[in-house]
């Protein structure tokens, strides 16, 4: 069969590879001048530092199948993300752990004492937290919420944490020991030569052709037996029902000599500081050494037409519109909507790859009969 895949990010590349290996001819297009989508990495020409061009990407998963898959195409170097945050004039360790608690409250608590102490701060009247704020007040109490989450989240999402779902905060653990690993997955690492090289290896198959700088046009579908769409769901339908909301990011790049901040990621919890975080890219490749350094000061704002969509905003208004687009998609034959933009969900790389592998497997056994969505966005 002839298959058209829109988007050369992880979704398009993995589905393309799986189908190519099964004997299908795959054409992958991307409007950008490069492969790898938002995971795209590139060496900075001034400093030689490997840049995470669309923001920092750390690979972490519990899915052994996905871990084996990525290790087929890239050498992974063990890497643990250890994030710091500057708040109220001091630097703390994230995610909230025993060091954070003891430094913040000026205490010397041991694990069970800290657990009881934080529980005494928590609002236990909140039985089933629905919002981000409720989740924070229930699990860390007002002081830590104010210092680390409230201002940061207002900057990141452009709204009050009372309007956001609890699920956003549930991504972050609270630990009563000194473990400051940002993630808790079994497998964590960074591809030695960057994500772009990994995606290039995935795409390296005689049945795959890749056309960059190529926007999707509906005529292209006429040449294909099936389309996999990893662009924005509303974009496929020319935004005819309206635009789904996204946050976009602006990266203010600056270079310095030496080491700027001593770590890869420094968050800024205070509302008055306009950026959410500074990422120093050479610390994502600690096995390399560079005299100079490149940083991104990161600002978040509402995406306008033409901006890169980064984070889907899944509030009540967006969910109502999303339902309408999903209905439309279900009546559109010959297209499967996949990936972060195609299903309008925040997906980590490992989940994206898992869904891509499963989507390709379903297609191989069921031909065109797979549903309109790889995974329902609702």
Residue 171 binds which of ligand UDP, ligand FAD, none (CB < 5-8 A, kind-dependent):
ligand UDP
The set of catalytic residues is 171, 175, 247, 277, 298, 346, 348
Closest CA to 363 of 224, 212, 215, 202: 224
d(C-alpha 204, C-alpha 13), whole Å? 10
Sort strands 277-280 and 208-211 into parallel, antiparallel or unpaired.
unpaired
Residue 7 binds which of ligand UDP, ligand FAD, none (CB < 5-8 A, kind-dependent):
ligand FAD
Q: Is 67 in the site for ligand FAD (CB under 6 A)?
A: no
Question: DSSP assignment of 42-109, as one string?
Answer: EE-TTT-PEEETTS---EEES-HHHHHHHHHHSPEEE-----EEEETTEEEESS--HHHHHHHHT---
Q: Is 341 in the site for ligand FAD (CB under 6 A)?
A: yes
Residue 215 binds which of ligand FAD, ligand UDP, none (CB < 5-8 A, kind-dependent):
ligand FAD
d(C-alpha 116, C-alpha 109), whole Å? 10
Contact 49, 43 (CB under 8 A): yes
Among the listed residues 16, 37, 194, 377, the single contact to ligand FAD using CB under 6 A: 37
Across-strand partners of 297?
252, 278
Min separation Cβ 123 and ligand FAD, Å? 31
Min separation Cβ 113 and ligand FAD, Å? 33
Measured torsion, CA atoms of residues 237, 240, 244, 250, in degrees rounded to the nearest 10: 80
Residue 339 binds which of ligand FAD, ligand UDP, none (CB < 5-8 A, kind-dependent):
ligand FAD
- Report the phi/psi class of residue 92: left, alpha or beta, with left for phi > 0 and alpha for psi in -120 to 50: beta
Q: Is 299 in the site for ligand FAD (CB under 6 A)?
A: no
C-alpha dist (Å) from residue 127 to 134, 138, 170: 9, 8, 15
Residue 101 or 264 having the CB closest to ligand FAD: 264
Q: Is 216 in the site for ligand FAD (CB under 6 A)?
A: yes
Q: Is 203 in the site for ligand FAD (CB under 6 A)?
A: no
Q: Is 44 in the site for ligand FAD (CB under 6 A)?
A: no
Min separation Cβ 171 and ligand UDP, Å? 4
Residue 93 or 156 having the CB closest to ligand FAD: 156
- Provide CB contacts within 8 A for 340, sequence distance 6+: 9, 11, 38, 230, 312, 346, 347, 352
Among the listed residues 48, 55, 142, 371, the single contact to ligand FAD using CB under 6 A: 55
Token pair in block for residue 222:
């006429």
Residues 11-30 that bind ligand FAD (CB under 6 A): 11-12, 29-30
Alpha helical stretches, state H, 204-284: 233-236
Token pair in block for residue 39:
């995971």
Q: Please tell me what DSSP assigns to residue 131.
A: B
Q: x/- string (CB under 6 A) for ligand FAD, residues 229-258?
A: -xx---x-------------x---------
Residues that bind ligand UDP (CB under 6 A): 85, 94, 148-149, 152-153, 156, 168-169, 171-172, 267, 269
* Spatial strand order in the sheet of 90-93: 90-93, 84-87, 265-268, 277-280, 292-302, 246-257, 311-312
Q: Is 310 in the site for ligand FAD (CB under 6 A)?
A: yes
Residue 7 or 191 having the CB closest to ligand FAD: 7
Residue 131 or 156 having the CB closest to ligand FAD: 156
Min separation Cβ 117 and ligand UDP, Å? 21
Min separation Cβ 363 and ligand UDP, Å? 30
Burial of 128 (0-12, 13-18, 19+ CB in 10 A): exposed
Q: Is 136 in the site for ligand FAD (CB under 6 A)?
A: no
| Binding footprint of ligand FAD on the chain (CB under 6 A) | 6-12, 29-32, 37-39, 55-59, 215-216, 230-231, 235, 249, 310, 339-341, 347-350, 352
């Amino acid at each position: 069969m002839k298959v058209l895949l829109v988007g050369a990010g992880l979704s398009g590349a993995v589905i393309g590879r799986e189908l190519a290996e099964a004997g299908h001819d795959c054409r992958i297009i991307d409007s950008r001048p490069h492969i790898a989508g938002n995971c795209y990495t590139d060496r900075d020409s001034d400093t030689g530092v490997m840049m995470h061009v669309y923001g920092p990407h750390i690979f972490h998963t519990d899915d052994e199948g996905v871990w084996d898959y990525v290790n087929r195409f890239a050498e992974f170097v063990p890497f643990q993300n250890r994030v710091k945050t500057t708040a109220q004039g001091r630097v703390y360790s994230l995610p909230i752990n025993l060091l954070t608690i003891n430094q913040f409250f000026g205490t010397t608590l041991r694990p069970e004492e800290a657990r009881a102490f934080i529980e005494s701060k928590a609002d236990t009247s909140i039985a089933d937290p629905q919002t981000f704020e409720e989740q924070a007040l229930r699990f860390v109490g007002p002081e830590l919420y104010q210092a680390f989450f409230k201002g940061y989240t207002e900057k990141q999402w452009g709204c009050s944490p009372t309007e956001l779902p609890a699920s956003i905060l549930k991504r972050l653990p609270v630990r009563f020991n000194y473990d400051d690993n940002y993630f808790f997955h079994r497998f964590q690492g960074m591809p030695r030569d960057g994500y772009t090289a990994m995606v290039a290896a995935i795409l390296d198959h005689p049945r795959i052709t890749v056309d960059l700088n190529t926007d999707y046009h509906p005529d292209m579908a006429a040449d294909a037996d099936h389309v996999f769409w990893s662009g924005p769901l509303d974009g496929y339908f020319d935004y005819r029902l309206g635009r789904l909301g996204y946050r976009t990011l602006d990266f203010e790049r600056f270079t310095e000599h030496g080491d700027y901040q001593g770590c890869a990621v420094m968050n800024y919890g205070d509302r008055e500081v306009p950026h959410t975080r500074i990422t120093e890219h050479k610390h994502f490749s600690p096995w390399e050494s560079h005299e100079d350094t490149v940083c991104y000061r990161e600002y978040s704002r509402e995406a306008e037409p033409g901006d890169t969509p980064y984070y889907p905003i899944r509030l009540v208004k967006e969910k109502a519109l999303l339902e309408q687009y999903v209905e439309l998609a279900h009546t559109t034959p010959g297209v499967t909507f996949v990936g972060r933009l195609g299903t309008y969900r925040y997906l980590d790389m490992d989940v994206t790859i898992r869904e891509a592998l499963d989507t390709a497997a379903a297609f191989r056994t069921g031909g065109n009969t797979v549903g309109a969505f790889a995974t329902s966005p609702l």
